[in-house]
Amino acid sequence: MPNDTVIPETTVDIALIEAHIRDVPDFPREGILFKDITPLLNHRKAFAASIDALAAPYRGMGVDHVVGLEARGFIFGTPVAMELGAGFVPARKAGKLPSETIGQAYDLEYGTATVEIHADAITPGSRVLIVDDVLATGGTGRAAVELVRRAGGTVVGFSVLMELSALQGREKLPDVELHTLLSV
């Protein structure tokens, strides 16, 4: 399954969305150009357009659950789940969920981290969409895909607001339909 799908601009007001993402140089450290989405979240039309665009390719596809990746994936994933009439599953850092969990480790630049979901959050056979704000190196996304599959779910896609293409995260998701609104 190809992972290079980009939502056609005719269905999305990309300019409105882009206009509400602020560049912050040297944050969180020198040499980094941070993409700040807080102006997007604060603008009701731009935020609504982004939610609509993230959900659009999956309308009518029988999505049962939307998995949102901590933390900003929660912000986008929850309203996408509502748009699709699906349940929401938070994928959190290890030790943050209160009940029995399943986890998946992934590599960081210096070490590893683990993402977890509740063990009973996804029932076998469920159709699952993964949502996040940014696709960077792809490690967290790959871990989420593996968690969904281990729980018995089928990943129908990965929908992301923004892809940092220079970091080549999509290479870790060759078997997942990937929808990105912006590639920077």
The mean pLDDT value of the chain amounts to 93
Q: Is the pLDDT of residue 111 over 90?
A: no
SS3 call for 140? helix
Q: Is the pLDDT of residue 12 over 90?
A: no
How far is C-alpha 80 from the geometric centre of its chain's CA atoms? 11
* Phi, psi values for residue 21, rounded to 5°: -115, 120
Q: Is the pLDDT of residue 47 over 80?
A: yes
Q: Which amino acid is at 61?
A: M
Spot the catalytic one: 29, 44, 100, 109: 109
Cα-based distances in Å from 45 to 13, 16, 17, 134? 10, 8, 9, 20
How far is C-alpha 146 from the geometric centre of its chain's CA atoms? 14
- Identify the pLDDT of residue 1: 41
Task: Tell me the pLDDT band of 166, cut-offs 50, 70 and 90.
Answer: very high
* Phi, psi values for residue 134, rounded to 5°: -135, 135
20-40 tens-digit pLDDT: 999 999 999 999 999 999 999
Q: Is the pLDDT of residue 5 over 70?
A: no
Q: Is the pLDDT of residue 109 over 90?
A: no
> How many domains are there within the chain?
1
Q: Is the pLDDT of residue 142 over 90?
A: yes
| Catalytic-residue membership of 109 | yes
* Phi, psi values for residue 97, rounded to 5°: -95, 140
Give the strand pairing for 111-118 and 154-163: unpaired
Task: Tell me the pLDDT band of 8, cut-offs 50, 70 and 90.
Answer: very low
Q: Which amino acid is at 65?
A: H
CA distance 173 to 184: 18
Specify whether the CB–CB gap between 144 and 69 falls below 8 A: yes
Task: Tell me the pLDDT band of 11, cut-offs 50, 70 and 90.
Answer: low
Spot the catalytic one: 18, 70, 72, 146: 72
| Catalytic-residue membership of 92 | no
Percent of the chain's residues with pLDDT above 70: 94
Q: Which domain holds residue 145?
A: 5-183
**Domain at 44, CATH number:** 3.40.50.2020
SS3 call for 111? strand
